[in-house]
């Protein structure tokens, strides 16, 4: 990823429930059994393998 913030990748491949089709501005989103990856600058995400890859971080 390029930038100073973070990117959130939500992988719902194995989700057991979601109300995303019914969700509106007045209703909270509901998702069960999802994977969340938080990527910072320099990280990448392999879409084919559905796996994050760490970048070269200082620290």
Structurally, the chain folds into a number of domains equal to 1
Residues of the chain with pLDDT under 70: 1-4, 57-59
The boundaries of the domain holding residue 22 are 6-53
Look at the pTM and tell me if it is higher than 0.85. Answer: no
Tokens 């930038």: give the residue: 3
pLDDT value at position 9?
93
| 58 part of a folded domain | no
3 state DSSP class of 10: strand
Q: Within a domain: residue 59? A: no
Per-residue pLDDT tens over the stretch 5-20 = 889 999 999 999 999 8
């Amino acid at each position: 990823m390029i930038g100073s913030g973070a990117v959130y990748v939500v992988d719902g491949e194995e989700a057991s429930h979601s109300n995303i089709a019914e969700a509106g501005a007045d209703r909270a989103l509901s998702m069960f059994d999802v994977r969340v990856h938080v990527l910072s600058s320099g990280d990448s995400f392999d879409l084919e393998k559905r796996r994050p890859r760490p970048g070269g971080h200082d620290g």
